[in-house]
């Protein structure tokens, strides 16, 4: 019985915590932000926003993501 209670407690704790997803590339300029945007869109379209923490990062801080990257991803993946 103790094992069943422990398993049930672990399952409910796992359901309460969002799953963290981090996309990483060298500079966080194009690839990882693009992957983040695509995944975030797919998650949102399925109504699973509260189940995930989504972010992107780079291993070297070159510079910020170009605004055209966000626009291109919005254009491709939005329902305009």
Candidates 30, 31, 40, 46; catalytic one: 31
Note the pLDDT of residue 56: 94
Whole-model pTM?
Answer: 0.64
Note the pLDDT of residue 75: 81
Note the pLDDT of residue 78: 74
Query: What are the domain boundaries of the chain?
Result: 17-77
- pLDDT profile of the chain (80 residues), mean per 10: 60 78 91 92 95 94 74 75
Domain 17-77 architecture? 3-Layer(aba) Sandwich (3.40)
Candidates 25, 30, 40, 46; catalytic one: 25
- Residue (of 57, 45, 47) closest to 21 by Cα position: 57
Q: Cβ-count burial of 41 within 10 angstroms (0-12 exposed, 13-18 middle, 19+ buried)?
A: middle
Note the pLDDT of residue 49: 96
Calpha distance 45→38 (Å, rounded): 11
Active-site residue flag, 31? yes
């Amino acid at each position: 019985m103790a094992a069943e209670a422990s398993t049930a407690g672990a399952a409910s704790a796992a359901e309460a915590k969002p799953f963290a997803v981090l996309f990483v590339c060298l500079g966080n300029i194009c690839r990882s932000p693009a992957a983040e945007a695509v995944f975030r869109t797919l998650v949102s379209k399925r109504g699973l926003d509260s189940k995930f923490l989504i972010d992107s990062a780079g291993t070297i801080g070159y510079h910020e993501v170009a605004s055209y990257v966000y626009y291109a991803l919005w254009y491709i993946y939005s329902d305009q």
